[in-house]
C-alpha cells in the first residue's frame, strides 16, 4: 500500500499552478517547461491543452510533469501556437483523471479550455442549480461550474458570457482560458490567487509565479490586477477589461510565507527577501539564548537565515534532507512507517549533540511534523530545543484553494501556545505576531478595516461570503434540531 510521506501530511497544500503561452511555434513545449517550474504548487496531476488554429489537443495525466510531458511524442501530439497547462493538488473534487485540468468543452461558440488555480466557494450551490436546469457534469471539480455558466449564459459574445459567469461565482480564482479567438487570463476581484504576465519575443505568457518565466527565458512584464481580464487575440492584440470596477485587493499572505518558490517575485517583492525579513522580525519578537539556528528544510531556510542574522546566532544545517525521496513510499507497518521518517530528514548529530538549538519552520498545522522533528533533535542529543514559527498560529481553515484540514484538526484551534509547546515537547515555542508578519511585508501593521492581505487562516477574517460552507453549517444545525425534536 502506498501512503503519503509523514512529513507531507502536516503542511498546507500548495493549491495549483497555471501557465499559458500564445503565439509561438513551440507552445506546448514551453508550457511543459513552465509547469516544471510550478511543480511545487501541485503534484497530483498535470495537463496541457494546445490550439493549432483549427482544433484543440489535450493530454492529461496523473503524477508529475516529468515522466508525462518530457517525451517527444507527447509534445508532438500537442501542436499549435497557443497552449495552457495546469499542475494540480485537489482542493475540490476527488483525485481522478476526470478532474485533471485544463478542462475542455465544445460550446456553441467553439472550443473552450480552462485552467484554474483557486476555489469557488459557492460551487456546490451553483452546481445544484445548473443540474436542475439540465446541465450534465463530467467531473466533480468546481472549475466545471464556470464552463456551464458560460455555456448557459444569455449574453451574445463569448467575452460577455465569460464575464457573466465570473460575476456569479464567489471565492478565489486565477484563470487561463483558451478559445478559437485567443487567450484570456484573469484574477478574482480580490486577487487572492496570484497571476503574472510575461513576454518571450512576440509571445505573451501567463503564469502563477514569475519563476516560471525565468525557466523559459521570458521577461516579467507585470502582475495581473485583481478583477482584471487580459485578452490576447490570435493576431497579438492585448486588451485589458475590468468588469468589476475598483476593487480592494486581498492577496493571499501565505504565498509569502510558504507557497511561492523563494526565487519568485510576488506583489512586487522578492519572496526570499520577505521570508528573511519575517525571520528577522521573529527574532526581534521572540529572542532566545541558543548555540545554533537550524531550519526545518526546505521551507524554513530563508526565515532561519533572517533569524540568525538578526539574533547573531550561527546558522547551521542541523537537519539534512534527502532530495531523492518522493512524496510516497511503501510502508508495510507502523514500525517501518516510523523509520521511514528518516528517509527524508535526518539529524546532523555531530553538530547538534550537547547544543541549544532554535528550530525555524514556516507553520504548524496538525503539529505531527513538529513533534517528530523535536523528537529527532532530542534523540540526536540536543541540550535544548526551541521552536520558532515564521507565521502566526494557523487557527482557521482556508476555503480559497488551499487544502487545509478541518478546523478541529488544526493544533492551534485545539490548544493555546503553552499547550502546543507541551504537545511537540519543545523547551519553548513562539510564533511571529500578525502585525509582525505585516511589518516584514513592508506594512506598518495589519489594517483593522480592509486588511492588506487575505489572512483568514490566521485571523478567521474571510474576505468573501462562503455560501457552500454556510449551507453546510445550516444543514447541520437543522439536522441537530430535528434529532432533538424526535
Q: What's the confidence (pLDDT) of residue 93?
A: 53
Share of the chain above pLDDT 70, in %: 88
Domain residues for the domain of 423 are 265-447
Residues 19 and 163 in one domain: yes
Residue 112 has pLDDT above 70, yes or no: yes
Give dist(CA 339, CA 425) in Å, integer.
20
Residues 344 and 404 in one domain: yes
CATH number of the domain bearing residue 108:
3.60.20.10
Residue 176 has pLDDT above 70, yes or no: yes
Q: What's the confidence (pLDDT) of residue 1?
A: 27
Residues 105 and 232 in one domain: yes
Residue 331 has pLDDT above 90, yes or no: no
Give dist(CA 103, CA 144) in Å, integer.
7
Q: What's the confidence (pLDDT) of residue 474?
A: 45
Give dist(CA 454, CA 201) in Å, integer.
35
Residue 317, exposed/middle/buried by CB under 10 A (0-12, 13-18, 19+)? Answer: middle
CATH number of the domain bearing residue 316:
3.40.50.2020
Q: What's the confidence (pLDDT) of residue 484?
A: 46
Q: What's the confidence (pLDDT) of residue 340?
A: 53
Residues 322 and 212 in one domain: no
Task: Convert the pLDDT of each residue in 407-447 to its tens digit.
Answer: 889 999 999 999 999 999 999 999 999 999 999 999 999 99
HSE (side-chain half, CA atoms, 13 Å) at 69? 28
Residues 303 and 326 in one domain: yes
Which residues sit opposite 87 in a β-bridge?
17, 46
Lowest average pLDDT, out of 65-69, 94-98, 287-291, 443-447, goes to: 94-98
Residues 363 and 317 in one domain: yes
Angle among Cα 37, 40, 46 to the nearest 5 degrees reads 75
Residue 11 has pLDDT above 80, yes or no: no
Residues 115 and 40 in one domain: yes
Per 3-state DSSP, the chain is made up of helix, strand and coil in percentages (nearest 5) of 35, 25, 40
| Closest to 93 (Cα-Cα) out of 111, 116, 65, 113 | 116
- The residue-averaged pLDDT of 24-37 equals 96
- The residue-averaged pLDDT of 461-477 equals 76
| Closest to 250 (Cα-Cα) out of 454, 479, 15, 419 | 454
- The residue-averaged pLDDT of 216-244 equals 96
Q: Are 445 and 430 in contact (CB under 8 A)?
A: no
In a domain, 70, yes or no: yes
User: Hey, what's the cell of 191?
Assistant: 486577487
Query: What is the total count of domains within the chain?
Result: 2
pLDDT band for 6, please (50, 70, 90 cuts).
Answer: very low
In a domain, 148, yes or no: yes
Residues 83 and 197 in one domain: yes
Residue 480 has pLDDT above 70, yes or no: no
pLDDT band for 338, please (50, 70, 90 cuts).
Answer: low
* 16 noted as active-site residue: yes
Q: Which of 16, 252, 398, 457 is catalytic?
A: 16
In a domain, 469, yes or no: no
In a domain, 442, yes or no: yes
In a domain, 461, yes or no: no
In a domain, 458, yes or no: no
Considering 251, 286, 316, which residue would you say is the last residue of a domain? 251
Collapsing DSSP to helix, strand or coil, 477 comes out as helix
Residues 180 and 295 in one domain: no
Mean pLDDT for the chain overall: 90
Residues 61 and 136 in one domain: yes
In a domain, 96, yes or no: yes
Strands 356-361 and 384-389: parallel
pLDDT band for 25, please (50, 70, 90 cuts).
Answer: confident
Residues 307 and 245 in one domain: no
Q: Which residues have a Cβ under 8 Å from the Cβ of 112 and sit 6 or more positions away?
A: 104, 105, 106, 147, 150, 177, 178, 179
In a domain, 352, yes or no: yes
Considering 204, 221, 251, which residue would you say is the last residue of a domain? 251
User: Hey, what's the cell of 278?
Assistant: 519575517
Predicted TM-score (pTM) of the model is: 0.90
CA 251 to chain centre: 12
Task: Convert the pLDDT of each residue in 373-393 to its tens digit.
Answer: 999 999 999 999 999 999 999
- The residue-averaged pLDDT of 107-121 equals 95
Considering 251, 285, 314, which residue would you say is the last residue of a domain? 251
pLDDT band for 150, please (50, 70, 90 cuts).
Answer: very high
Q: Which residues have a Cβ under 8 Å from the Cβ of 430 and sit 6 or more positions away?
A: 282, 285, 286, 387, 388, 389, 417
pLDDT band for 327, please (50, 70, 90 cuts).
Answer: very low
Give dist(CA 462, CA 456) in Å, integer.
5
Measured in degrees and rounded to the nearest 5, phi and psi for residue 397 equal -75, 155
Residues 188 and 232 in one domain: yes
Amino acid at each position: 500500500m502506498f501512503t503519503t510521506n509523514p512529513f507531507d501530511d502536516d503542511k498546507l497544500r500548495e493549491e495549483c499552478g497555471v501557465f499559458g503561452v500564445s503565439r509561438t511555434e513551440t507552445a506546448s513545449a514551453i508550457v511543459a517547461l513552465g509547469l516544471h517550474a510550478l511543480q511545487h504548487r501541485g503534484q497530483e496531476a498535470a495537463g496541457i491543452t494546445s490550439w493549432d488554429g483549427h482544433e484543440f489537443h489535450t493530454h492529461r495525466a496523473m503524477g508529475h510533469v516529468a515522466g508525462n510531458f518530457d517525451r517527444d511524442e507527447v509534445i508532438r501530439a500537442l501542436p499549435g501556437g497557443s497552449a495552457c497547462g495546469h499542475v494540480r493538488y485537489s482542493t475540490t473534487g476527488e483525485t481522478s483523471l476526470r478532474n485533471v485540468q485544463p478542462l475542455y468543452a465544445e460550446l456553441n461558440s467553439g472550443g473552450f479550455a480552462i485552467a484554474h488555480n483557486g476555489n469557488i466557494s459557492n460551487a456546490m450551490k451553483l452546481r445544484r442549480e445548473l443540474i436542475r436546469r439540465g446541465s450534465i457534469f463530467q467531473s466533480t471539480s468546481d472549475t466545471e461550474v464556470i464552463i456551464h455558466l458560460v455555456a448557459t449564459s444569455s449574453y451574445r459574445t463569448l467575452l460577455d458570457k465569460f464575464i457573466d459567469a465570473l460575476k456569479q461565482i464567489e471565492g478565489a480564482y486565477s484563470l487561463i482560458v483558451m478559445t478559437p479567438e485567443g487567450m484570456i487570463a484573469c484574477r478574482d476581484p480580490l486577487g487572492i490567487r496570484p497571476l503574472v504576465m510575461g513576454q518571450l519575443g512576440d509571445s505573451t505568457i501567463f503564469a502563477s509565479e514569475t519563476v516560471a518565466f525565468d525557466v523559459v527565458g521570458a521577461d516579467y512584464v507585470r502582475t495581473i490586477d485583481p478583477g482584471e481580464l487580459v485578452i490576447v487575440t490570435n493576431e497579438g492584440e492585448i486588451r485589458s477589461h475590468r468588469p468589476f470596477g475598483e476593487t480592494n485587493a486581498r492577496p493571499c499572505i501565505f504565498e509569502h510565507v510558504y507557497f511561492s518558490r523563494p526565487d519568485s517575485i510576488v506583489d512586487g517583492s522578492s519572496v526570499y527577501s520577505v521570508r528573511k525579513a519575517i525571520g528577522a522580525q521573529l527574532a526581534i519578537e521572540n529572542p532566545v539564548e541558543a548555540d545554533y539556528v537550524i531550519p526545518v528544510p526546505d521551507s524554513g531556510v530563508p526565515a532561519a537565515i533572517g533569524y540568525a542574522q538578526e539574533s547573531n546566532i550561527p546558522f547551521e544545517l542541523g537537519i539534512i534532507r534527502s532530495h531523492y525521496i518522493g512524496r510516497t513510499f511503501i510502508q508495510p507497518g507502523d514500525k517501518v512507517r516510523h523509520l521511514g521518517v528518516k528517509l527524508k530528514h535526518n539529524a546532523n548529530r555531530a553538530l547538534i549533540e550537547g547544543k541549544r538549538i532554535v528550530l525555524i519552520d514556516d507553520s504548524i498545522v496538525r503539529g505531527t511534523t513538529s513533534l517528530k522533528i523535536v523528537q529527532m533533535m532530542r534523540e540526536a542529543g540536543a541540550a535544548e530545543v526551541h521552536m520558532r514559527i515564521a507565521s502566526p498560529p494557523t487557527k482557521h481553515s482556508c476555503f480559497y484553494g488551499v487544502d487545509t484540514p478541518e478546523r478541529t484538526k488544526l493544533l492551534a484551534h485545539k490548544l493555546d501556545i503553552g499547550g502546543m509547546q507541551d504537545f511537540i515537547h519543545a523547551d519553548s515555542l513562539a510564533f511571529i505576531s500578525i502585525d509582525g508578519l505585516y511589518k516584514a511585508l513592508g506594512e506598518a501593521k495589519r489594517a483593522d478595516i480592509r486588511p492588506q492581505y487575505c489572512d483568514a487562516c490566521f485571523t478567521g477574517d474571510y474576505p468573501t461570503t462562503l455560501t457552500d460552507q454556510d449551507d453546510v453549517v445550516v444543514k447541520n444545525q437543522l439536522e441537530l434540531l430535528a434529532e432533538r425534536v424526535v
